[in-house]
A and B are shown apart, each in its own frame.
Chain A
Amino acid sequence: MTEIELIEAYHEKRLSPVEILQIEERMQTDVAFAARVQEHLEFLQNLHGLRKHQKRQQLHAKLNVFHAELLAENQQVSSKPTTQANNVLAFEPTPSTQKQTAPQGRRIDLQALRHKYLRPISVAASAAVFTFFCTLYAVDYTSSVEKKQLSSYKQLKKEVDNLKNRQRDLEIKENNIAKQQEAQNQMQESRFGGTGFAVASEGLVVTSYHLVQQKPDSIVIESNKLQNFRYKADLVYYDEANDLALLRINDSRFKGFGKLPYTFKNKDADLGEEIFTLAHPKEEVVYGTGVISSQSGYEDANNPTDSYQVSIPVNPGYSGSPVFDANGNVLGLIAGKQADSEGVGFAVKSNKLLQVMSELPDSVPLNLPQQNKLSKLKRTQQLKKIQDFVFQVKVY
């Protein structure tokens, strides 16, 4: 008997007590022998352990079969709810035959697999056939329906037209609501203020009427460029239709603006003319550029031609901002924007502004600027000059 066979016999407990004693005594004294015994015993244990491993793998294969069955059954249940989902026990092979076939390896396994898969596959096939005939039937049915549909086509079109009309009505309603909301927004905005600019050196400032229409407690004109420039102002005149308001600074400290650097254009600006604006959406003045994008303003206004459509970004606080052409002539004043579209602002035309000023009562002294001092200047220098005449209008 070789050493390996001896160790194996020891492992399998086939040795006599005397032999066992001999081995254990030798292991005590011979370290190398003990190591060899230990090593082979471990090897044998691992080899025996393979039994568990193989069994586990077989089980795993079985579980995969169950899983495939489960998926097939689920499909079967969803397509044909009446088939039995729980008939597993009745059709499964008995465990005893399984056990006999198991050790004989792959070929038998395949047979078992086929046996197990036969049912789901046949079910799937029958479902497929069923679906095929259903489709055939459905195709036949739809072709017969098509004829009926032809006759009802006109009616359908009319219905679509009706729907269209109804939708248009809805849109119009929606627009009205939007306009109302816009008006409300403007009212709310007036509590925070907007922009105004000097129109005459006597302390006249123009702004949007909607800023002051609620008869505020006080109106304050403020400049963050000129030192200590914070004066109370009175509403002296307004034109609701054109959304214009004239304010006059009413403060004994106020000594006048001095000469205004810009003039007012009394002709319509050309389409596409380059324009710029200065506004006070915040404490600091904000510069914006754009073009005259249309010679008429908001379509639904009473007199659309009294304002321009401008492509200047317009935001709350811009109301009352002056719109200048490249030479620094005032073309108009920002009044509002279209709520539902971007880049569509509206500005009241300067000739309307001039008209309003000409309507002022004689009690209000007025010297309109006559000379444009900006036309030869670069834009930055223009802005420097203009800044001193653009103010925040704060309404309390």
Chain B
Amino acid sequence: MQTQVLMITIVFMLIMAIVFARVVRSVKSEKPLERIETKRRGMIWSMLIVGVIVSLGSLRQWPHSIPTAGSTKSEIVQVNATGAQWYWEIDTTEIPLGKTVVFNVKTTDVNHGFGVIDANGTLLAQTQAMPGYTNKVKYVFDKPGKYRVICMELCGTGHHSMQDEFTVIANTEELGG
């Protein structure tokens, strides 16, 4: 997903940069601009229409929804993770492949950020760990192997070293708990 986001961003940024470059050249233009306010209104309406479409498309299915009622309970794996300066305590080291995992994230001291990255270093999911609250984030792992948990919210001088790991197991019979 991140690569697509970067590509889309760069394309839009380039288009905008080209527009401004043309505007700079237009300082010398002899041709007067026509229907300025019509163009402005068109721009505003276009942005609003695109905004409605993008908002509906991206929010129709709430990205933070946590499966509870109506879900098959056996299909949901609950994992508790607690942050502290500067380590993670995770109540399991092994997680089953292909099941919805709900991470219940807490902290014993300051704010931390619970981030899960794969073997390539790509961030898959995250949530904040906040004093007095339990934040929940779900993820379905579709590849077995080692995953790392890192800290995504500055929590003091050991912030960058606050890391842990777990393994996603393909064969659930191997799960040790």
Asked if A and B are interacting partners, one says: no
Residues of A within 8 A of B (CB): none
Residues of B within 8 A of A (CB): none
